[in-house]
Amino acid sequence: MTLRLTVDGVPYEVDDVPPSANLADVLRHHLGLTATKDACYEGRCGSCSVLLGGLLVTACTVLAADVTEPVVTTAGLGSVEHPSDVQGAFVEGGGVQCGFCIPGMIVAATDLLERIPDPTEDQVRRGLTGNLCRCTGYGRIVDAVLAAARARTAAP
Amino acid sequence: MSRGIGASTQRPDGLAKAAGTFVFAGDLSEPDMLWGAVLRCPYPHARLVALDVSPAFAVPGVVSVLSSHDVPGRATYGLDDPDQPVFTSDVARFHGEPVVAVAATSLTAAREGCAAVTVVWERLAPVVDTEEALVGPPLHPDGNLYRRIHLQKGDPDVEGEIAVEQSYVIGTQDQAFLGTEAALAMPDGKGGVLLRVATQDLHADREQIAACLALEPEQVTITLGGVGGAFGGREDMSLQVHVCMLALDTGRPVKMVYSREESFLGHVHRHAMRLHYRTTADRDGRLVSQRARILLDGGAYASTTGPVSANAATMAAGPYVIPNVTIDCYGVRTNNPPSGAMRGFGAVQVCAAYEAQMDLLAAAAGLDPLEVRRRNALSTGETLATGQVVHSAAPVQLLIDTVAEMPLPPPWSGAVEDLPGGPAADPARVRRGVGHALGFKNIAFSEGFDDPSTALVRLEVDASGRTQALVHCAAAEVGQGFVTIVEQIVRTELGVDEVSMLDADTLIGPAGSTSASRQTWVSGGAVQLACAAVSQQLVQRVATASGVPAASCLLRDGLVVSPEARLRVTLAEALAAGPVEAERTFRHRKTSPLDARGQGDAHVAWSFVIHRAVVDVDLDLGTVRLVQLATVQDVGKALNPLSVLGQLEGGTAQGVGFALTEELALEGGFVIHPTFSEYLIPNAVDLPMLQVVLVEQPEPDAPFGAKGVGEAPTVSSPAAVMAAMRAATGLPLTHMPVRAEHLAAGADVPWATR
């Protein structure tokens, strides 16, 4: 089947997609948009977290054929040259090691700060339970999210 | 230099990873690329009676189907002893052993091709118990004993007045790195192969791949693909030979990426162990003897069971002064999946046992658990169980005293969400426990192994007129931050701010494995040596050009200066005559093999560590809440304090997982839960913020005085959590990881034989 979807503001039309394809596979394999990772294919690890119509989802558990709203990945939130505040906070704060979980983690943290602009440490931890990280033990990630929140709150 | 050694600089690849542009091995692609997949044995032990691959070719898109008959060179591979088949040819010895590899135009077609292959198996009885395997018929022509170590220090018949004795069972932990195994192989057009792969040791892969492909090592060119975590699980090969064979057979690029299930089935795990300990002391709690019998489940093939057994044996007595030590350690073949490297490499399981023994001893002697450790703590100049004198910094006493001073958490807040069982819990049935564990981990390869590293440093003015240093080294960056400290070392040594790294590949000499907490020391040392050589050449050049004695010149803060000659030359000026480069190889000091009594200067150095865990346990539900975790670690010198903190937090998290939830469930050799739904690694709410104190006593032998820090946190954290749960429940808890049914008071649940 042919799918039309918008990813990070760019419209795509993609042919020959199996009807059963999930959004993670369409992003990575059909569109070559590898900013979104995959690590479990059962919605457990959060590596493929994206915003779909503004809602945080794991792309591997979304049927691609159902996608009608725009998709935002970490690549749509910022770039190496112009990182988002959350992306910058992760790097400055030592939240990145191997980095495989980080694209999904950034999307989840960005969503968290939209919902809770000034979270406590506990709220950050609860907000990130859907995203597994094997390298960091979460300490630097949690601190990075708190630092990003503080910077936003302090900004005029 | 402001961003040199000792600064908490940022990772050079951090922003690319955050923005999604960093290329992991699984993100690679090439035009006209095929996808590879592997068919695996569904049984832990079975004879391959018949194999017909022809139906796979009937699947649309399938291009190549390969099995054991197609392996051009050595039919087996392995790091230590190449006994693991590339493909099963007669008998499969573990659940997941590869049988056939397929290349097709899509991953789906490749998997369908695998499914179409006809295999007739004759199931054989699996042997999964190490005691049975030790005395049973051989599961492999090489027999069932990978290694036996008998270690004897002092008098085996001397014991103290107080004796404590206990058996321990340790389950199988998985590295569970998030980025599954991935590689892309291409023919090089000259009969050789180019491989981009997520690995820990490019040159060890190359040697093994070349042997299996019947190529010269130079015909196998390996470049590191972006690595999504490793933790030991990529030290052994997985898909490397398969993907190279498919590329050479088809003449096309072939990519392989494991699913999560394949990842669980396709790499080695941490050794399950059974340990029996008898520890004795005098009435003051001073250790007199330590006796242990240790069985390691090496699984179906050798991997690194030999050196893991040596680590377990040589560190089995703990970081303590003990006059009499007897250790009998056996690395055993079974039909469980192969065991190999995982962060801590044999030191983790024995720590869980010797630290439980220290708590039993404290109770028997009527001493505080920390006091009994203080009275026996190792220090510099003391002798280990191997007879090796500890020449390195060993601030064990200081670790104990420091953790004792760290504040304990407040009592339960009264909030339901702070109970281990949440709203279902009865607060009156919740108990708090505090536990400590002390541990140590050897750094770099041991037992006389020569594991050097080579680095090339080139100082130049680039096309835009910018002075920069280029570094080439084959050390695998797997997330630990080697790329960060390389920049810092170069800045400190050469005074140049811009540092970039070439891809890690096999076009330069080996850097050895990213394991054993060794790259900072060994490859960091190679980079430092190469910088020193570049500096010397540059100084010589400036001295010659200026007619000044070279001895009066030095490179300082990015300037070649001679105070006597009032000379001051910038790097850019000095490099105008052309770039300067040097390649150097670093070796740590020599170690020696263990003798027939397990004695010898087997290790290079050790990092010492202590953890304190505070837990709340619900006695009815068997649920646990980690209230606080504190650690003090001997790091030598923190080259990048932020990186060190990340290693301590991450390593501790893996240890906590091992104590509480992480058990690769095996039933009769079958891997029954190869998913993240059932193999549970800690998430953000499972862990409190780690309280950390670093002890910095520079290691005389090590570049910049830095000890490797990656593994020690995983050694003592599981034992500390176990101790805290024992303190909370009063139960012996001799099995790790613990299960809820073992924690629920009054429950007498036998440990299922697995």
Task: Single out the residue of B383, B330, B319 nearest to residue B355, CA to CA.
Answer: B319
- In this complex, the residue of B19, B259, B690 whose CB is nearest that of residue A79 is B19
Q: How far is it between the farthest Cα atoms of chain B?
A: 86
Largest pairwise CA distance in chain A: 49
Contacts of A38 in chain B (CB under 8 A): 26
Is B23 within 8 Å of A96 when comparing Cβ atoms? no
Select from B20, B179, B651 the Cβ nearest to the Cβ of A39. Answer: B179
**How many other CB atoms are found less than 10 A from the CB of residue B617?**
29
* Residues of B with Cβ-Cβ distance to A77 under 8 angstroms: 19
C-beta atoms of A98 and B481 within 8 A: no
**d(Cα A120, Cα B306) in Å, to the nearest integer?**
48
Mutate to test the interface with B, among A15, A20, A133, A134 (most CBs of B within 10 A): A134
Q: Is A58 an 8 Å CB contact of chain B? A: no
Question: pLDDT digits over B8-55, tens only?
Answer: 999 999 999 999 999 999 999 999 999 999 999 999 999 999 999 999
What's the sign of the alpha-carbon dihedral B683, B684, B688, B691? positive
Question: Is B745's pLDDT higher than 80?
Answer: no
How far away is chain A from the Cα of B409, in angstroms, using its nearest Cα? 16
Closest Cα in chain B to A46: B178
How far away is chain B from the Cα of A75, in angstroms, using its nearest Cα?
Answer: 5
**pLDDT at position B747:** 54
Q: Which residue of A has its CA nearest to B692?
A: A139
- Flag if A97 and B681 touch (Cβ within 8 Å): no
Interface contact flag, A83 B645, Cβ < 8 Å? no
Residue appearing with tokens 């139906």? B55
Provide the shortest C-alpha distance from residue B343 to chain A (in Å): 12
The whole-angstrom separation of Cα A128 and Cα A97 is 17
Average confidence score pLDDT of chain A: 97
Over 80: is that where the pLDDT of B194 sits? yes
Q: What is the pLDDT of residues B461-491, one digit of tens each?
A: 998 999 999 999 999 999 999 999 999 999 9
Q: Please indicate whether, in this complex, the C-beta atoms of B20 and A74 are within 8 angstroms of each other.
A: yes
DSSP for B487-501, please give it. HHHHHHHH--SEEEE
Quote the CA–CA distance of B329 and B310 in Å, as a whole number: 8
Cβ neighbours of A125 in B, within 8 Å: 684-685
Closest CA to B202 of B484, B513, B521, B518: B513
Distances (CA, A) of B335 to B40, B128, B345: 15, 5, 21
Give me the sheet containing B182-187, strands edge to edge: B62-66, B98-104, B34-40, B254-257, B182-187, B193-197, B220-224
pLDDT band at B689 (very low <50, low <70, confident <90, very high): very high
Instruction: Label residue A68 exposed, middle or buried (CB < 10 Å: 0-12, 13-18, 19+).
Output: exposed
Chain A hits for B651, CB-CB cut-off 8 Å, are 137
pLDDT digits 0-9 by tens, B538-556: 999 999 999 999 999 999 9
Q: Is A81 exposed, middle or buried (0-12, 13-18, 19+ CB in 10 A)?
A: exposed
Stretch 103-132 of chain A: residues touching chain B, C-beta under 8 Å: 103, 106, 121, 124-126, 128-129, 131-132
pLDDT in tens, B395-442: 999 999 999 999 999 999 888 888 898 888 889 999 999 999 999 999
Regarding pTM above 0.90, the answer is yes
Contact B646 A135 (CB under 8 A): yes
Bridge-based pairing state of the strands B453-461 and B580-586: antiparallel
